[in-house]
A and B are shown apart, each in its own frame.
Chain A
Amino acid sequence: MTIKLGVPSKGRLMEKTFDWFGKRGIALRRTGSDREYAGAVSGIDGIELVLLSAGEVPRELAAGRIHLGVTGIDMVREKLATWEDRVSELAAMGFGHADLVIAVPGAWVDVDTLGDLDAVAAAFRRDHGFRLRIATKYHRLVREHLKEAGVADYQLVDSQGATEGTVANLTAEAVADITSTGETLRANHLRILSDGPILRSQATLFKSRAAAWSDENRMRLSNLVKKLGV
């Protein structure tokens, strides 16, 4: 059996992943028509390309259905409980940089830290009768972070896209989202809290601990690692 390498199936993440491998002498490419999710690998033997959504890479790695996978650190830590037991990081790839941050309306001049957010959440609950809403798709990471910081009287509301718009739409009071430049947040009149991001993420090559690592595949992996220089 060959080593299965899971790579995001479209967009910049796919292109940059192809570039990253290409620079290291391994050519990844899509085959067939534009719409067909099939791929090929050349420059090394025994590696098979699996194209899939970046969000599904953690699950496939954890299940051992792919041996290696490229996705963001944020995806792995959000989706996999005890992620260190299930995957290991082979290489940080130097692109797809993004921070998971908490942002509040820029006009909240009195809120700069999580401590402020906590105080405002208490007052908000008293004034409005419900817990302050934070829109996010990173439920686990945000909840753990806020618990660690001792923030109370908030609730997470699910937002799978256009999260920055939820505050103006009155469906949330704050957001927790991935940002690289902060521009979309600013354009939506939001400001990032000053006490640092919840997580700094970038595209990373992960190795599955659950996949079947036969002697043959171990050889192929060490060959690959040598070639990649990681």
Chain B
Amino acid sequence: MASKADIRAAAARYLDGFTAAGADIVEADILQPAEALLDLYGEDIRARAYVTQDPLRGEQMLRPDFTVPVVQMHMADGAAPARYTYMGEVFRRQETETGRPSEYMQVGYEVFDRDAPEAADAEVFALILNALAPLNVRAVTGDIGILKAAIAGLNTSDRRKAALSRHIWRPRRFRALLDRFGGRTEIPAARAALLTASDPMRTDVPLTGLRTRTQIAERISALQHEASQPPIPEGEMALIDTILELRETAPNVLIALRDIAVDLPELRPSVERMALRLDALAARGIDVDTLEFDAGYGRTALEYYDGFVFGFYAAKRPELPPVATGGRYDALTRVLGQGREIPAVGGVIRPGIALEIAP
């Protein structure tokens, strides 16, 4: 295990590299207001972040990542194009005995750019790959945008598409919903009874709580409408299954996706974006022919990635956490931008892991 001083020195070298690439150095508070993080990640973040109580400022969290504060700072400042780099500790609670540290150093690089998102994807990926060059690492890439586009292209109701999109990052619930909408699982008995009741709102129990009678009635009519919808065609279900199982070199995945796009034309723009990205990566000297692409990658990560995603893993030490991770988070800038938005992509290196696998 490298000493803290060694890790800090390594972090500073990565930071220098990112500065040389044109990034401005930014800092973020270690104590972050919990509210914004909870709204973004949901209650699950409590299991992964340290929460503490401030008598005046309310619930605070020890910085679980830099992306959120950096995006907040950038959006408050006007959302102009920019490149940032930062280094510092992040804090992650471990609720099981993983042997992983609960406090570790990160060095990051974030690009806010409207003009050429695919070029920015390639820039971040190549910069991190080059920084890790002396190490024996394996890169995995993916693209959440492909799955999002596939959902949008399904021949089914907007409500179903919204339900599926909402659960892209929760694979089990996603699968349960998809199977229901595709007619692969039966409607639960209680739901069936509700749908056939002559007066579904009828109950002896007085209504308590904030949710109104109107809101209950709205959901019942939505459920009735849902029940009247034909299932998602088996052919389209099969396409989604195929996409989720795509795990090949990037060029082979591209060929497969172009085939799928013949039957699912809404997929085309995101497939062409992937092609542009591969060109941009090749232009930066990356061997895309051997680049690994996993269409399911990034679905269990923190929820804000919505396009290109990547991770670098120690080739000989699969038990270690990734040496670096990153991705595109356009929607996050919209959520935190209060009316403004700008496409953004970034990544972080963990110098502690990098030192552990250094030759």
Contacts and interface: CB of A to CB of B under 8 A. Distances in A.
Interface string B166-180: 110010111010000
A170 B166 CA distance: 27
Interface residues of A, number: 47
B334 to A, nearest CB: 16
Contact of A107 (B95, B166, B205, B219): B205
Interface stretch (A5-13, A115-123, A196-204): A115-123
Given A109-B194, A109-B216, A194-B190, A131 B42 contact: yes
Interface string A194-217: 100000000000000000000000
A105 B96 CA distance: 34
Given A150-B173, A168-B209, A194-B190, A110 B216 contact: yes
B209 A167 contact: yes
Contact of B42 (A108, A113, A152, A168): A152
Nearest to B95: A81
B200 interface: yes
B58 interface: no
Contacts of A154: 42-43
A173 interface: yes
B198 interface: no
Contacts of A148: 172
A153 B38 CA distance: 10
B228 interface: no
A124 interface: yes
A191 interface: yes
Contacts, number: 112
Contacts of B95: 81-82, 140
B168 to A, nearest CB: 11
A146 B174 CA distance: 14
Interface size class, chain B = 35 or more
B96 A123 contact: no
A61 B268 CA distance: 60
Contacts of B205: 105-107, 189, 191
Contact of B47 (A144, A149, A150): A144
B220 interface: yes
A67 to B, nearest CB: 23
B256 interface: no
A42 interface: no
A166 to B, nearest CB: 9
Given A108-B216, A120-B219, A152 B166 contact: yes
Interface in B139-195: 163, 166-167, 170, 172-174, 176, 188, 190-191, 194
A19 interface: no
Nearest to A121: B42
Contacts of B358: none
Contact of A143 (B47, B176, B213): B47
Interface string A161-199: 000000110101100000000000000111100100000
A115 B176 contact: yes
A76 to B, nearest CB: 15
Interface string B312-338: 000000000000000000000000000
B5 interface: no
A107 B207 contact: yes
Contacts of B201: 109
Contact of A122 (B166, B203, B213, B220): B166
A145 to B, nearest CB: 11
Contacts of A152: 42, 166-167, 170
B215 A107 contact: no
28 contacts: A105-B208, A107-B205, A108-B216, A109-B194, A110-B200, A110-B216, A110-B220, A112-B188, A112-B191, A116-B191, A120-B219, A124-B211, A127-B215, A131-B43, A139-B46, A140-B95, A143-B43, A143-B46, A147-B47, A148-B172, A149-B173, A150-B172, A150-B173, A150-B176, A152-B166, A156-B43, A170-B210, A189-B205
Which 5 A-B pairs have CB atoms at the shortest separation, nearest pair first? A150-B173, A106-B205, A150-B170, A112-B190, A107-B207
Interface of B: 38-39, 42-44, 46-47, 95-97, 163, 166-167, 170, 172-174, 176, 188, 190-191, 194, 200-203, 205-211, 213, 215-216, 218-220, 223
Interface of A: 81-82, 85, 105-110, 112-113, 115-116, 118-120, 122-124, 127-128, 131, 139-140, 143-144, 146-156, 167-168, 170, 172-173, 188-191, 194
